[in-house]
Structure 1
């Protein structure tokens, strides 16, 4: 069955001056324009083609693969603003429309946005939306803490950064645990830190279990011993300085310091940490 917005494996059944017809498995044949066909295209050949509607609303095929298929998340750049919405460059001759009704906020030309590609149930046309929460789940009860995931930074909030998780969910990176420069549209690896009681997904760039924090504590003690029992890297230090030395977030470093203090292995001051005799 023909799938709009997906890659289809179709047979070439006829050749015309302006292209080829492909067998769609239905009554209607699909046009593959010459400009979108391989040079050695011939009748009887099977091709992997992307199927979508052209500017005249005809179902058409191309051997080019867009930057995103239907039901996928992508980072696309705004190509033009029009009276019907915003058009995004997604690698095909026809640009992808983000209708005004699917814009979280007004969009700007030349700017990258994280969008979800969907098929309009009324027109069957492909379109995109920046209203990610309408398409992605914010309930992580089917996920597990500690899982490594692929993230796309989707936007900033007062608490931190919203991120797309493996293309299916939305989660939150808290700003006090972000110790490197990130921008909307960045693709990076992260971890599921916890699933809250309401199903909301908390994310992090390093997942540190209790066992891992113990290892971090040992690293801090070794670092103190190497520097004469004194360190100026306190819980007030910048996230960048902490990450450079230990490769962890400021929050994880503070937790490890707190554990060492409770164990009476270190003394904490505003400007330094001191190792107690063991």
Structure 2
């Protein structure tokens, strides 16, 4: 008779009741079905279909909650906790969370999934025969993918990061399109499993997408205008910066380039909201310095 394996579904007989659940058997092995994993009342010799997993002591245990995930079957799971020493624990739909080993994650934990992030995973055994979660590789993700239509260019899109590379990140969109974000188009630090919003900058011939997390130029100008006006309002509508200020001074104060600063000032002047005089900028409704 085949050995009972964690990560599989089996139909077993109820052997006998125990103070903390039931023991199930296939005729040669017994496994515990803990009372927390029981749905309904069971009788001796009744057949019950269960999912097998390893308890905290590494013993085979059973649950009547049957998750979709299996050995060799990939599904979306949710990260629930990060343990720097071990990796990330994921919720597969049963009472015990399963570990995604740090050996299968980026070297730096800041790129690891955070609680709530989603991962496309299966189950596997490590060399010591312990059950672990297994991240989908490129070949598995490709089985989910569909070709992206050309009209997506410049559209906003939701995606999940599934792989980090030295030059960027691979993502899968909500509609099943595979996308790539180059490091130059990434804002902030992104991590495996993170849900992000980005925009399509190119639809490639093979049906994949080039994406960007950076705002469109007009959105960037609007953001910088807001930043400048907020600063000026905190100073009664005046600031000692104008379009001839030094780039390093602008960078230090506003964390933007001089080019972006000038575009924002230009927008404010075009709208008649700002003027410049003697190295200062003033909002129109303010008094001269």
TM score, norm. by length of structure 2: 0.48
Q: Larger C-alpha radius of gyration, 1 or 2?
A: 2
